[in-house]
Structures are given as structure tokens and as C-alpha cells.
Amino acid sequence: MGDHEQSMTSTVWEATRRYLRSVAVPLGAVLLALIIGAAIIWISGASPWLAYKALAKGAFGSAEGWRRTLEKTTPLIFSGLAVAFAFKAGLFNIGAQGQLLLGAITAAWVGFAVHGLPWAIHAPLALVAGLIAGGLYGYIPGALKTYTGAHEVITTIMLNYIAMGLTDYLANGPWKDTSEGNIVARTPEILPSAHLPTWGWLPLGFLLALAVAVFAWWVLERTTIGFEIRTVGRNPHAARYGGMKVARTIILTMVISAMFAGMGGAVETQGVIGRYQPGFNANLGFDGITVALLGKTDPFGVIPAALLLGAMRAGSSQMQFDAHVAKEITDVIQALMLFFVAADMIVRWLLRVKAAEGEEKITLSTGWGSH
């Protein structure tokens, strides 16, 4: 018994140590990025201390700040989950942006074009429409990869351009807002019955994002499909040997991943923007890559990573106002974070952390046509 307990405690200790080691790199990357960011602020003649204080105040200093932060965080959770989920099957979904745009415009269409439904039906319907639109768009690179061997990095980049062109066309053509006085490319406003509400500082969309994160974790860690996805990601040969259908798993993973992105677009339309307007969702999908990497491609890691980026966006105006530091410095800091997470050897060397035994390696890309 005593022996058993001892091994239990040592297992717990071991797990804790492994956990600390695994978060050391993202935390170190954030820290390094903030330090270098501070140096840049200082060189530009402002006080880093004041700047960061104003940034935090803007993001968390009031209920209004919290609302802004959570609003900015929500789409980043969705796109971060999309990228992280695909990573688990060894796929690099750069197409979250395009999938998100299609989700956003589809939800907008359902939101303004479908009349006479009560909120309880209309809002979910628009959400599901966005989710399906994203998912279908994710089917394309998945199918191209399994049937023709086309690398998903290339195809999703291309599909992003197509999505951009398509949504621009729709917002400027058939679905254009024709109300009096409007000259910009945008869809009509969605009906109130399709709106996702914000209660005080708490947007419903944020709760949905948390629920989807739990769902993603559950699929990956607790279901047979998740086991197949992770096995294909880590060793496709062993997956085939174990009787798994590798091609089907890759397509399914891309579809689920893209559904997350599509839902993120729908939530953005229904909860924040209220319509589809080109340019309003810029970069949300690409920022998902930063979020996913900063969150160690773990569904629960994605949440704090998205919150961090969301807070920097929400607080940057306050920073500009109080400390006279250009808003764009937050983009620089975000880029530095991504840089240090990707070049993790630098952080490991600085912090003297070794990669944990058996730790999953995040491979950004496995060479063209290696599958």
C-alpha cells in the first residue's frame, strides 16, 4: 500500500513537472516579447511601465474593458481551436481565415434574409449555417490532400484568396446592403432575432467559445475519433496498421477544424458586427495560428492565449491615449510572441528547459508532398 501511494505521489509530481516544462516555452515567449516590447517603447521615448499599465487598465480596468476584451478574445478562441485541432492530426490549417469569412457571411445572409423566425430558432440557425459553410470549405483542402496529395498549406492559402474574393463579391453584389445612402460594400444588418446578446460585460459568444473548447478537448481526448486523429497526426503508418482509415480521418479533421473557424465567423457577425462587411474580420483566422502555438495546440491552452491577445487589442487604445504609445506596438509584441514560440530553442536555451520525454513535437510543416 505504502509503495503504491509513493508511486502515486511520484506520478503526480512527474505529471506536474511535465506540465510546468510544457508551459515554460509559451510563458517564456510571452515574457521575452514583453521585455523586447518594453525596450522598443522606451527607445521611442515613452515609459514602458506607464504603457503596460494603461494597456492592462484598458483591458481589465472596467466592466467596459472586460466586455471589449472578451469580445476580442472570442473569435481568437474559435480560430485558435481550428488551427490547434488540425495540428493534432498533423495538418497545418492556414485556411482558418477563409473558413471564418465564409462562416461570417453565411451567418449574415441567414441573419438578414430569413424573416419571421423567433430568436430561439433564428440565432442558432444562422450559427449552424456559418458552421456548415466553414466546414464545407474545409472539406476541400482535406479531400485535395487525401485524393491528390496536394499539401494543405498551399491549398488553404489559395482558398483564403478565393474566400476573400467571393465574400467581397457577395457583399458588393447580390447581398449588398441597398438601403438608402449606403455606398460601401456590406450586407444589410441582420435582424434582431439573429443577434447574439451581451449581458453586461459578458458576451454570449464568449460562453459559446468556451463550450466549443470543452467540446474540442472531449473529442480529442475522450473519443475514438480523437484517438484516430491523434494517431494519424503522430504516426500515420501505425494508424494504418491499427486499422484506422487515414484518408477519412484527415478529411474529417479538416472539416471539424474548419467548422470551428466558421462558427467563429458567425459569432463575430451575430454578436459584434451585426452584418458582414469586408475588412472587419481581417486577420482573425491568421491570428489563430499564433493563438494555437502559444496555447501549445491544446484546446484549453488556446483560451488563455486568446485572452492575452484579446486583452492587448482591447487595451491598446487606452495605451495610446494614456502613454502616447502607438497602438501598433501590440502587433509587434504579438509577432515577437509567435517568433519565440516557433523558435523555441531560443527560449529553451534562455530558460534552460529541455523538451520533456515523449513530448509532442509541433511540426509546423512536413515538407512538400511528404505524405
Partner 1 sequence: MSENEVYALEVRNIVKRFPGVLANDHVNFNLRKGEIHALLGENGAGKTTLMNIIYGLYTPDEGEIYVDGKKVEIQSPHDAIRLGIGMVHQHFMLVPVFTVAENLVLGAEPTKGWQLDLKAAREAVRRLSEHYGLEVDPDAVVEDLPVGVQQRVEILKALYREAKILVLDEPTAVLTPQEVEELFVIMRELTKRGVSIIFITHKLKEVLAIADRITVMRRGRVVGTTTPAEATEESLARMMVGREVVLQVPKGPAKPGDVVLEVRDLKVEDERGLMAVNGVSFEVREGEILGIAGVQGNGQTELVEAITGLRSAREGKVLLGGVEAPFRRPRFLIEHGMAHIPEDRQKHGLVLSYSIADNLVLCTYYKPPFAHGLQRNQQAILENARRLVKEYDVRTPSIFTPASALSGGNQQKVIVAREFSRPVRLLVANQPTRGLDVGSIEYIHKRVVEMRDHGAAVLLVSAELDEIMSLSDRIAVMYRGKIVAIVNAGEVDKSQLGLLMAGGQLQPA
Give the interface with partner 1 as residue ranges (CB under 8 A).
7, 11, 222-227, 231, 234-235, 237-238, 240-244, 357-360
Q: How far is the CB of 15 from partner 1 (least distance, A)?
A: 8
Between 115 and 354, whose beta carbon lies closer to partner 1?
Answer: 354
**C-alpha distances in Å from residue 96, one per residue of 38, 53, 59, 109, 137:** 31, 33, 26, 20, 10
Q: How far is the CB of 242 from partner 1 (least distance, A)?
A: 4
In angstroms, rounded to a whole number, what is the distance separating the alpha carbons of residues 124 and 135?
A: 16
Q: How far is the CB of 239 from partner 1 (least distance, A)?
A: 8
In sequence order, the 6+-apart residues with CB closer than 8 A to the CB of 5 are none
Q: How far is the CB of 244 from partner 1 (least distance, A)?
A: 8
Q: How far is the CB of 228 from partner 1 (least distance, A)?
A: 8
**Partners of 198 in the β-ladder:** 203
* Widest distance between CA atoms in the chain: 79
Q: Give the torsion through C-alpha atoms of 48, 49, 50, 54, to 10 deg.
A: 100
Q: How far is the CB of 225 from partner 1 (least distance, A)?
A: 6
- Exposure class string for 263-300: b at 16+ Cβ within 10 A, else e: bbbbbbbbbbbbbbbbeebeebbebbbbbbbbbbbbbe
Between 299 and 310, whose beta carbon lies closer to partner 1?
Answer: 299
- Exposure class string for 125-153: b at 16+ Cβ within 10 A, else e: bbbbbbbbbbbbbbebbbbbbbeeebbbb
Between 11 and 62, whose beta carbon lies closer to partner 1?
Answer: 11
Between 3 and 180, whose beta carbon lies closer to partner 1?
Answer: 3
Between 115 and 361, whose beta carbon lies closer to partner 1?
Answer: 361
Grid cell digits, residue 98: 477563409
Between 143 and 247, whose beta carbon lies closer to partner 1?
Answer: 247
